[in-house]
Chain A
Amino acid sequence: MNREQNSRTSILNYIIALAVIFALNFILPRMMPGDPLHAIYGDEALVAMTPQMEASLIREFALDRSWTDQLLAYVINLLHCDLGFSYYYRTQVSSVIMGALPWTLLLTGLALIIATALGIILGIESGWQRGATLDRCLVAGLMFLSGFPDFFVGIILLLIFGVSLNMAPLSGAVTPYAGLKGLDYLLDALMHLILPLASLVAVQLGAVYLLTRNTIVTLLGESFILTARAKGCSDLCIKYSHAGRNCLLPVTTATGLRIPHLFTGALFIEIIFSYPGLGSLLNSALDARDYPLIQGILLIVTIAVLTANLLVDLLYKRLDPRVKYAH
């Protein structure tokens, strides 16, 4: 299979995956017994709804017409970026999501960068001196850490630093009504960010570390390492420029594969620390049975995950010159 064909099939896969999510969003509420408006908006929402609102919603979703018309109305609404109306927050779903998205992106983005960088460095150092005390401690410690489920790592950090030691704020992203400006505001946001970020990094670190370490261990037996040694490269140069560079390929692929895990991990961590991102939003939407909001959030997360995976797929082919030269 050549390269073009390869990237074309991967794009096709993502389109199929996206279509499945869209289809589920469309079919599930309409499959429910009874009135589809009930299923789309939930029983709680209809209590607060006036007959006029109901009529306009039925018109908007084309619920009184055939299912092809309904599908058309659904697609047109999506193309307008209209994800529906959140009855719980009493505003457009898209604007509720836009309010929460930056916090999630901040959290996941920083966690991804820190966990990957730290994991690669620790992995290289410990693979380089495998069998030594440092290596054995790191392997055992990080294996132990990655055994914990995402949300329990967050809970432990919350209990130790938030509840027992009272060192960090328990919830939120900034102190409410403090009216902080400039640097104080940044510091305040950082204090709120540090525990969720630490838990997310702790959860992600183990996988990157173990992969890098194992790759280094197998790489160190290769002849190009011997060559580098023979021509008099320093240890640092061999470690990072020769072995480390070759680690980037598997690590990049694994990073791409971990992105869904990163997002779902962030959902849990945000709920634990009441961090005002998509996770907390999803939690309150699930509690309130605010179906349009649930659908909207899951749609955004899916699109984010699939886009990230696609980018990594394309990046991977750029990163590995061997793939290009082979054809």
Chain B
Amino acid sequence: MHINPMRELFFDPLARIGLVMLAAIFLMAAFAPLLCANSPDDYTGQIFMRPSSGHLLGTDSMGQDIWSRLLYGARTSLAVAVAVAVLSASLSVFIGATSALMGGLYETFWMRVVDALTSIPTIIVMILVAAYLRPSLMLLILLLSAFFWPGGARIVRSQSLSLIERMHISAALTFGSGRRQILANHILPDLSPIVFAMMIQDARRAVFMEAGLAFLGVSDPTMISWGKMMHQALAFTYLDVWQWWLLPTGLALSLTLMGLSFIGFSLETAMNPRLKGNLLRREG
């Protein structure tokens, strides 16, 4: 690869904005205990307090400190994002690449599974399962990964198929390397930009799904989630509390999603040379 899309990220203004947004959220999540004085689950006694030095964003309808809940909510979102991205990308790479290499019945079987899984509307199954089973973070991560991997597997397979045709693979075969070596040394390294773009997209969808399901009221009741905070805050739009309850929470969620989509978009542009250089930058 002559262009390294991952390195391009640091030179693209759009991706830089995205990276800064994500870094802010990461810092919030990492240093949550240092950044707030109150525990997110404590009841301070008074409800709907206005922002003050003790409560940076005031308190909610249960008297809990909104700022600390916002910080700890970042942890939930990022945990889901990272876990789903890693799990679903590993599945995609494994099944996509092995299908391309093995071919035959194995490939037909997995591509059939991929086709069937991609036609099922994810959010509906999620709601259905969450309504019956006790929703938990683990279940959410597993279910989201189960629905996200097929899209990636299809991309990895077609990309691997075109990589296999390349000269250096034939050279490696001539020198007697086995399937496993070709996969590990020649195909996987070339797949890495695409896999990275896939992970960014999966992370974005996972953050959205987690917040969306919590917004619908199907989530682990003990978990602190931005979606659930917005769901609770929406009932009180007739009071002034939305200014420091609903709005900051929504903005934090939007910041995370936007950061991820800017990076994803920039990666896509870097990998598709025909689109390159004409976005946000004047030509010539």
Pick the contact of A283: B129, B216, B246 (CB < 8 A).
B216
When each residue 209-245 of chain B gets 1 if its CB lies under 8 Å from chain A and 0 otherwise, what string results? 0011001111000000000001000100110001000
Number of interface residues of B (CB under 8 A): 46
When each residue 248-268 of chain B gets 1 if its CB lies under 8 Å from chain A and 0 otherwise, what string results? 001001100110011001000
- Interface contact A271-B132, CB-CB below 8 Å: no
Q: Which residue of B lies closest to A285 (CB)?
A: B131
- Interface contact B217-A306, CB-CB below 8 Å: no
Interface-side segment among A9-17, A60-68, A228-236: A9-17
Q: Which residue of B lies closest to A298 (CB)?
A: B124
- A31-B258 Cα distance, complex, nearest whole Å: 39
- Interface contact A217-B278, CB-CB below 8 Å: yes
Q: Which residues of chain B in 120-141 are interfacial with respect to chain A, using CB atoms and an 8 Å cutoff? A: 120-125, 127-129, 131-133
Contacts of B283 in A (CB 8 A): 130-131
B102 at the interface (CB under 8 A from A): no
A260 at the interface (CB under 8 A from B): yes
Pick the contact of B121: A136, A144, A302 (CB < 8 A).
A302
A202 at the interface (CB under 8 A from B): no
Q: Which residue of B lies closest to A291 (CB)?
A: B131
A134 at the interface (CB under 8 A from B): no
Measured CB to CB, the closest approach of chain B to A39, in angstroms, equals: 7
Q: Which residue of A lies closest to B250 (CB)?
A: A152
When each residue 298-321 of chain A gets 1 if its CB lies under 8 Å from chain B and 0 otherwise, what string results? 100110011001000000000000
- A155-B275 Cα distance, complex, nearest whole Å: 34
Measured CB to CB, the closest approach of chain A to B274, in angstroms, equals: 5
Contacts of B265 in A (CB 8 A): 143
B27 at the interface (CB under 8 A from A): no
B7 at the interface (CB under 8 A from A): no
Q: Which residues of chain A in 239-293 are interfacial with respect to chain B, using CB atoms and an 8 Å cutoff? A: 260, 263-264, 267-268, 271-272, 282-283, 286-287, 289, 291
Contacts of B212 in A (CB 8 A): 149-151, 264, 268
Contacts of A263 in B (CB 8 A): 121
B119 at the interface (CB under 8 A from A): yes
A-B contact count (CB 8 A): 134
- Interface contact A24-B261, CB-CB below 8 Å: no
Mostly, the A contact residues are helix
Contacts of B115 in A (CB 8 A): 9, 13
Most-contacted residue by chain B among A14, A20, A25, A149 (CB, 10 A) = A149
Measured CB to CB, the closest approach of chain A to B27, in angstroms, equals: 20
- A283-B234 Cα distance, complex, nearest whole Å: 13
Contacts of B124 in A (CB 8 A): 21, 298, 301-302, 305
- Interface contact A155-B234, CB-CB below 8 Å: yes
Mostly, the B contact residues are helix
- Interface contact B217-A287, CB-CB below 8 Å: yes
- A147-B204 Cα distance, complex, nearest whole Å: 10
Measured CB to CB, the closest approach of chain B to A279, in angstroms, equals: 9
Q: Given that A163-B237, A283-B217 are known contacts, is A28 also in contact with B129, CB under 8 Å in the complex? A: yes
Contacts of B250 in A (CB 8 A): 149, 152, 155-156
- Interface contact A17-B128, CB-CB below 8 Å: no
Most-contacted residue by chain B among A162, A214, A291 (CB, 10 A) = A214
Contacts of B127 in A (CB 8 A): 282, 286, 294, 298
Contacts of A150 in B (CB 8 A): 212
- Interface contact A282-B216, CB-CB below 8 Å: yes
- Interface contact B116-A20, CB-CB below 8 Å: yes
Contacts of B278 in A (CB 8 A): 130-131, 217
When each residue 52-88 of chain B gets 1 if its CB lies under 8 Å from chain A and 0 otherwise, what string results? 0000000000000000000000000000000000000
Give 18 CB contacts A-B under 8 Å: A13-B115, A24-B128, A28-B129, A28-B132, A32-B132, A147-B261, A147-B262, A155-B250, A162-B237, A264-B121, A264-B212, A286-B218, A287-B217, A291-B132, A302-B121, A302-B124, A305-B121, A306-B119
